[in-house]
Structure 1
Amino acid sequence: MMKFKSAILSLLITFSAINVFAQKVDVDKLLKQALHETNITNNYPKAIALAKRGLEISPNYTDIRLLLGRLYKLTDQPDSAKMEFNKVLAKEPANKDAISYLKNLENYEYEKKIASLSNRVSVTYNPTFFEKEGKETWNLLSVYYARLTKYGTILGRINYANRSYADGLQYELEAYPKHKNAYSFINLAYSNAAIFQKYRVAYSYIRSFNNGWEGELGVRFQYKNSGLMSYGGSVGKYLGSFWLNGRVFLTPDDGMVSQSYALTARYYTNTADDYFTAMIATGISPDDRVRNFAFAERLHTNSFRVSLGYQQLIGRRNILGILGTFNREEYVVGKKENEYDFAINFQHRF
């Protein structure tokens, strides 16, 4: 009798082992299929179904639970992803993958929250110093509020300028409406102060192309004592962490055509808000805020300038930027002077 009971017990153990092995094989197969749907076909709903089926068979299978957590993150279900990672940590508190995935998920949620912030305020102070003795410093202070909408960004800006002979305010309304694979730049400005253009209207159409290329076509109109129209365009290219852009403006006046050229390079160090920038340019540009008040007077004089700057994201919500510019300007025909700009900008998103 004892021999019979032992035989039965051995048989049950054998069948149990075979069943467990079969389940393990089935779960491994489900894991492999789920990984294929995740990484190869990107069929996340099917991968989730396979992972859930595997956990029904083997609830303590760590690799499948981690995969399910990743899939929940990929399908924008952060709460479900957290729950799966925490289930792993409840059984294996030192599991490095679960700890890493949970930390990345928390960072992802924070980044998503920051990206959804739709308000921004900015303050920029830009003094201009002169090599010429006795010439007083120019001061330009700008503040703006911007609002991000599903149709694009719109902002209002107020500029205060102080020169040795006068000061005054300029008011701007700016917008960046979105289009398919493109966006527009629209700017309207008004001032009744002598140190600004009375009216300014600007428009550009910027389009993205394949392989990191982008192009822009635009016009600028400004009126002080008379109206001037400028026509321009640019070509840009992303090369890894670099962005290169060449820009030209042509302004017809008195039977001549004034020309402005600029080459800009940026090197991104982390996010789109972290970069070094450098620019080399000739001629006066209608987009030059510091010298725009004297656009007509400097239109046919020679100038050469070099700029270097850096911008850094601070604390995810704040941006601090600095820009230095050396400008060799022909203020009257045959006479030149050196001008030095230093701009500092602070932005806050909320």
Structure 2
Amino acid sequence: MRQRLLYILTIGFCLIINFSSFAQAISSDELFKQALDETNINKNYPRAIALAQSALAISPDYTDIRLLLGRIYVLSGRDEEGIAEYSKVLAKHAGNMEALNALFNLSVRLGRNDDALKYADAIERAGSSGEIRVKKADLLKTMGRYDEAVWIAGSLLTNNPVDTNFIYLYKDIRFSEGKYLMSKGDTAKALLSYEDILRVDPADTVARNLAININLERKDYHSAGKLIDSGLNFYTNNASIFTKKLSLLQLEGDMREAYLLADSLVKANTSTSQIVAIRDETFLLSRQNRIGLSTSVTMFDQPERNPWALYSLFYMRQEKGISMLGRINYADRVNRKGYQFELEAYPKHGKTYSFVNLAFSDSFVFPKIKFSYSYFFPLSKSWESEIGIRYLNADSDFKGFTGAVGKYFNKYWANIKTFQTASNGKLVGSYIFTNRYYFNDNSDDYLTAIAGYGFSPEDVARNFDFLDRVTLESLRFTLGYQKTVLRRGILGLFGTWNKQEYTPGKTRNEFDVSVSFQHKF
């Protein structure tokens, strides 16, 4: 009887133990299910956390429950606790994709890029290299490691050349790279980034515009022109690319072509207000021919001296690389009359240009020979300098050199110039300060004020008399006004006061009044 009772108790104890274990297993799964419902259906994250923690207390190695707990923490804004739970999963299962992806996304969101890159590499090693390579390339772009990002995106694109997602990724990285390089002032490398985008997608007008702008800024007009011409078919709004074309033509100095193109766009009703403005602006600038007439009278405060008169007629032709001018001057002064014939040119040499003038006369009222040459070169975007020589011949020679520097201040232009020559074993100099205010973008419209000291070989009213003036003192001031009238005409009015030493210790006042009119056609 006693043995039978012991047997029954033993069997009962075993049944209790087995039932308890079974109930415990059911409890973990049931808690897991309840935690899922609270998370996904009820959105009751505190309750879901409590259920998941209870389930893990029963089954601490239950991976799915720990992954769920990590996700609930993140949904609750408790990122660090979520990271801790996912890290526990990886400690036991290094290749768990859910934990790796979660930690990658968390690291990216929190700006922990080095950690994110570590998890991306782990995901690739675990055998999932598709989507993560796209994310890794984007991450490397964010980190400024553009070469690595481009290599990944490029390899994806090579294997799938028509995949629009890979095309977008590659372009996005190149755009970011270009923007960064532009911020550093490295326009040459930025240009390579934008050109590479066009290699992948020739229809990308944003990259094309950026590449065109860089070439225009670098004055590489040939490359800018190729980009413009090859991109005409890719723009839904042709006015946009034609505006670039017009800007290029203006920068190249081809005002005639700029005007003709702008005028044709206006007539075809494919223009914008900017194109209309360019047409109006280039109308006068595109006039390649110019004819002009001027007259100047010099009066003295000495009654015994008769006024001097000077008349000039000129014709000018402007071409893309050079402007040429022919002028005939007639003078009536010091009781004598005569003619002078001049040839003048302004040849361009890339970013620089020259001034050349040659004149002949057989009359006393002009130098027999006059020769001038100056070379102009920029010092910066707003500074310009000049060096040159001057030669006059009458009964003797005047040989001198000149130097000048000028600067633009928005609509103002200031210039300081000197002429130096040797006379009687010493250096004699003159100095001229010119200030000019432009009313608009037209270089023919301005107000000018000039102050000068000493003899100037460029003073056409007096340079015939250089033998008597070169070593004597003079002080002069000029005010002038020039303005476009009747669209193609240019009217100029100038007045000069010159205090001239005519013999050592004695001076007189000389007054010049001149009027000029030019017509462009």
TM range (shorter): 0.7 to 0.9
Instruction: Identify the residue that residue 136 of structure 1 maps to in structure 2.
Output: 306
Which residue of structure 2 aligns with residue 281 of structure 1? 452
**Residue 208 (str. 1) matches residue 378 (str. 2):** yes
Q: Which of 271, 290, 298 is the matching residue for 2:469?
A: 298
Instruction: Tell me by how many angstroms 1:84 deviates.
Output: 5.9
Provide the rounded CA distance (Å) in 2 between the counterparts of 1:330 and 1:216. 29
Deviation at 1:127, TM superposition (A): 0.2
Structure 1 269/128 Cα, relative in aligned 2: closer, same or farther at 3 Å? same
Q: Which has the higher helix share?
A: 2
Question: Could you tell me how far apart the structure 2 residues matched to 1:162 and 1:241 are?
Answer: 38
Q: Shift in Å at residue 134 of structure 1?
A: 2.8
> What is the aligned counterpart of 2:278 among 85, 108, 111?
108
Give the CA deviation at 1:183. Answer: 1.0
Distance in 1 between residues matched to 2:472 and 2:269, nearest whole Å: 68
Which deviates the most, 263-272 or 206-215? Answer: 206-215
Cα distance, 1:195 vs structure 2: 1.4
CA distance in 1, matches of 2:501, 2:375: 32
After TM superposition, give the deviation of residue 251 of structure 1 in Å: 1.2
Q: Matched residue of 2:401: which SS?
A: strand
Summarize the alignment of residues 1-350 of structure 1 with structure 2, pairs less than 5 Å apart. 36=206, 52=236, 67-75=237-245, 78=262, 79=264, 83=268, 85=270, 102=272, 104-270=274-440, 271-350=442-521
Question: In 1, Cα distance between the equivalents of 2:370 and 2:305?
Answer: 28
- Aligned residue type for 1:265: N
SS of alignment partner, residue 207 of structure 1: strand
Q: CA deviation at 1:292?
A: 0.6
Distance 2:513 2:423 in 1: 31
Q: Is 1:205–1:217's contact at 8 Å kept on the other side of the alignment?
A: yes
Give the TM-score of the pair, scaled to structure 2.
Answer: 0.52
1:88-126, Cα deviation, whole Å (9 max, x unpaired):
xxxxxxxxxxxxx55553443344343222111111111
Contact 1:267 1:277 in 2 (8 A): yes
Give distance in 1, aligned partners of 2:424 and 2:315: 39
Aligned-partner Cα distance in 2 for 1:80–1:281: 48
Instruction: Give the Cα–Cα distance (whole angstroms) in 2 for the partners of residues 294 and 239 of structure 1.
Output: 36
Higher-strand-fraction structure: 1
Residue correspondences, number: 289
- Which residue in 2 is equivalent to 1:13? none
SS of 2:381's partner is helix
Q: Deviations over 1:111-156 (max 9, x none)?
A: 4343222111111111011112232111011111111123311111
1:290-336: per-residue Cα shift (whole Å, max 9, x none)? 00111111111111001111110113311111111110000111110
Q: How far did residue 71 of structure 1 move?
A: 3.6
What is the CA–CA distance in structure 2 between the aligned matches of 1:172 and 1:81, rounded to whole Å? 41
Mapped contact 2:239–2:272 kept (Cα < 8 A): no
| TM-score (norm. length: structure 1) | 0.75
Structure 2 residue matching 1:295: 3-state secondary structure:
helix
Identity of aligned residues (%): 37
**1:75 CA displacement:** 3.7
Q: Tell which structure's C-alpha radius of gyration is larger.
A: 2
Deviation at 1:261, TM superposition (A): 0.3
Aligned partner of 2:519: which letter?
A: H
DSSP 3-state at the match of 2:306:
coil
Q: Distance in 2 between matches of 1:190 and 1:81?
A: 47
Cα pair 1:68 1:81 within 8 Å, conserved: no
Question: Unpaired runs of 5+ in structure 2?
Answer: 1-202, 213-226, 247-260
Distance 1:242 1:315 in 2: 25
Equivalent residue number for residue 12 of structure 2: none
For 1:144, the aligned partner's letter is F
Cα 1:196–1:83 shift into 2, 3 Å:
closer
Q: Extract unaligned runs of 5+ from structure 1.
A: 1-32, 53-66, 86-100
